[in-house]
Amino acid sequence: MPTVTWGVIQGRKEKLVSRVIVCDYLKSIGIIPDELEDLELPSTVEVMRERVKFLQKIGLTIDDINEYPLMLGCSVRKNIIPVLGYLEKIGIPRGRMCEFVKNYPQCLHASVVVELVPVVRFLRGLDVEKQDIGYVLMKYPELLGFKLEGTMSTSVAYLVSIGVNPRDIGPMVTQYPYILGMRVGTVIKPLVDYLVSLGLPKKILARMFEKRAYVIGYSLEETVKPNVDCLMSFGVRKEALASIIAQYPQILGLPLKAKLSSQQYFFNLKLKIDPDGFARVIERMPQIVSLNQNVIMKSVDFLLGRAISVSDVAKMVVKCPQVVALQVGFMKNSYYYFKSEMGRPVNELVEFPEYLTYSLESRIKPRYQRLKSKGIRCSLAWFLNCSDQRFEERLGGEYIEAESVGPSFVMGGKLDLPGGEIVSEEEDESDDEILYRRTVSL
């Protein structure tokens, strides 16, 4: 608060004269005093000069002061020095103090004990690490002006209510402190409700927010809804939206139309993949919208160089888009093992391109050696597309069971398992559990 101990006690006339003199001084150094009309100013030029020089000493320019001239109402000893000293103590580097004050000059009016300390204690109570307090406040200095019982508390309470782990609130705030300033009723809840309406369970949203808190900051009307509409306009099925968002939450905040248009044209030009095929690629690997085209071409060129036709490469990419994101060296080793050791025809690779995504040393080689020792001849999918336990069961079986496709995920319905008639209800996985497995890679 402004101090009243500047200079001698003056009468009304003397105060007006002193004010004119102080304002003339401010004008002479380039400061516009118009906004200071209702502010009590020091009675002497010397006190005001001390304030200006101190503010310049920490790095502020006359232009910076003109941006927020009310800082000149703060006493150096009673306001500015205690506030800056406390900010440095909680982790704002002295070299960046000027930047902090520029971004939030209102902090100079604050009471350290009454306003600043409670906010810092609140952040520590959310499990924000002590060494991260300065970082959080540098990103979002306006936190120092918030009331604890207002937006900050309600936003945290709502996030916990939808399933966010209380222990993860601290890391979320450190990553994206702006969530503490977002209103539940107008910002956070409408976003959550909309994503739930697309088929995303709240517990999946909670895991998503824990890992990528900045998703909460995407504008529902300006970014999220237009991007969802854009995906559907490119042929993505509504039932696939939840899986896409769970796999790649950032897709909600990208300049999506431009990226999708560019990638769709690229895939059609290079591989003759039609719009429907491109939509299936997006559904299976949404990250492809952000994948560099030079990276994609390295994998494509490798496959074309193995005498695989363009149409077959296109078929492989549509079935398993992950192949275009693999390192060529990784693909090369797996391919040569496929040809030289396993002696398999290329058409098997075209039918099961997922082969290239498995680890050669930890899965392909060990399992193939086991098959070879037992004299078993089977498809790639039969021995690779199953868990270790299932593989052991297959090896111990008296006959080679027929190949079956993996489980399919359909929003709004039960998990459809091949041979589901022999699976008990207790063994069925819920839609939420399937989607949760898809978010493990988040």
Long-range Cβ contact pairs of 34-41 (< 8 A, separation 24 or more)? 35/69, 35/70, 36/69, 36/70, 36/72, 36/73, 39/2, 39/70, 39/72, 39/73, 40/2, 40/4, 40/73, 41/72, 41/73
Q: Using one digit for the tens of pLDDT, what is the confidence trace for 277-309?
A: 999 999 999 999 999 999 999 999 999 999 999
End-to-end CA distance of the chain: 48
Q: Is residue 305 within 8 Å of residue 335, measured between CB atoms?
A: no
Distances (CA, A) of 363 to 174, 380, 384, 408: 39, 12, 7, 23
The pTM assigned to this predicted structure is 0.81
At residue 59, the pLDDT reads: 94
Classify residue 239 by its DSSP letter.
G
At residue 150, the pLDDT reads: 81
At residue 400, the pLDDT reads: 57
Q: Give 416's strand partners.
A: 408
Place of tokens 């039960």: 414
Q: Is residue 283 within 8 Å of residue 240, measured between CB atoms?
A: yes
Classify residue 90 by its DSSP letter.
T
Place of tokens 């945290």: 156
In three state form, how does the secondary structure of 263-291 look? HHHHHHHHHCCCHHHHHHHHHHCHHHHHC
Q: Using one digit for the tens of pLDDT, what is the confidence trace for 240-282?
A: 999 999 999 999 999 999 999 999 999 999 999 999 999 999 9
Q: Is residue 317 within 8 Å of residue 307, measured between CB atoms?
A: no
Distance of alpha carbon 164 from alpha carbon 156, whole angstroms: 9
**Reduced to 3 states, what is the DSSP secondary structure of residue 416?**
strand
Q: Give 408's strand partners.
A: 416
At residue 294, the pLDDT reads: 95
At residue 10, the pLDDT reads: 52
At residue 147, the pLDDT reads: 84
Kindly state the tokens that stand for 322: 């992950």
Distance of alpha carbon 350 from alpha carbon 316, whole angstroms: 6
At residue 16, the pLDDT reads: 79
Distances (CA, A) of 242 to 48, 201, 202, 236, 341: 60, 9, 12, 11, 41
Q: Is residue 177 within 8 Å of residue 139, measured between CB atoms?
A: yes
At residue 330, the pLDDT reads: 93
pLDDT along the chain (442 residues), means of 10: 48 74 90 84 88 94 93 92 96 94 94 94 94 96 88 92 96 96 95 96 95 96 97 96 96 96 96 96 96 95 94 96 94 95 93 95 94 90 91 76 48 35 38 48 43
How many H helices and E strands in the chain? 23, 0
Amino acid identity at 252: L
Q: Is residue 323 within 8 Å of residue 358, measured between CB atoms?
A: no
Residue 416 has φ and ψ, to the nearest 5°, of -95, 105
**Reduced to 3 states, what is the DSSP secondary structure of residue 408?**
strand
**Reduced to 3 states, what is the DSSP secondary structure of residue 202?**
helix
Which residues of 64-122 form beta strands (DSSP E)?
none
**Reduced to 3 states, what is the DSSP secondary structure of residue 442?**
coil
At residue 398, the pLDDT reads: 57
Residues 6 or more apart in contact with residue 38 via CB below 8 angstroms:
none
